[in-house]
Structure 1
């Protein structure tokens, strides 16, 4: 029987990759939708050809790869362009996620779909349960500025384009508070993992 899909989401800079790796330490298979999205527009893909045709070849770097920073700025400054891009790549990402979330020789009853846009896209329809990582907005901004070298106003626009924090929390089946220490988060992950094993009858 295919494992259940549990969504793991949170705003930008909330610590999704760290929390996913903590689940991974318990043997949980996880797929990051951001990684799948990157694969969808690698050089040689039809999606990247269409993006270059639509936005102009200046959207590509000298080696032919997508200039993500330039594309991000374009789509966050223009809602119509963002919708065009989402209509192109979301179906590709959805199909790839479905394929990668079915690991071979897997003995746990659930897998994790890690996605910053779980609720903003149809990805939430793939999930049985959703875990939300919560972090104060000020912490999200600091982490993202440090990680991506983005200016504060751009990070704030990205946060504004995502589902509001309170709304995300209301949709959660489980919440992991990432405002404290890593040991504290690890304990919350252990508790969530055990609860999911019980729920899915492992």
Structure 2
């Protein structure tokens, strides 16, 4: 769905400046360069300047075991809490394109995180939280969905009872085509509408 969002202070025109003494650094954020969906971000400091980058251990999954292809009843309420929003992830379903799981954290995120391979979708099953990223800050509550584009740098602080059902997808996460018209807007009668989508920083 395409709709224009303008946040914060920025020049009137793209690729220009308002004050020579207060230049903003421009970043084109997207996956397909100038041809795909993108956001134009403005920074006070160079966005390429980082203090430290740490690579997380990659978890390998083997979906080839046919014995695993059976009906299951997952009693997730009995799972104990562990880790933070990254280290505490439990993967319940997966294949070579998508992973679905549950997070019941006990620790706060100490750093920012960037997933360079997958888009992410969170559903807050229980609790609340404050999500911070290069796009701003949002307050989340039980029942909210949170979409995190691939390559987004983010961190999140949550309540003690926070429980999240998450999805990691190598493919684009988008609204189903049957819910959109030819211009990308929501059709009438869809289970959600444009005004249901929150994007403003808190």
Superposition TM-score tier, normalisation by shorter sequence: under 0.3
Query: As a proportion of its length, which structure holds more helix?
Result: 1
Q: Report which of the two structures shows the higher radius of gyration computed on alpha carbons.
A: 2
Structure scoring higher RCO (CA < 8 A, sep ≥ 6) equals 1
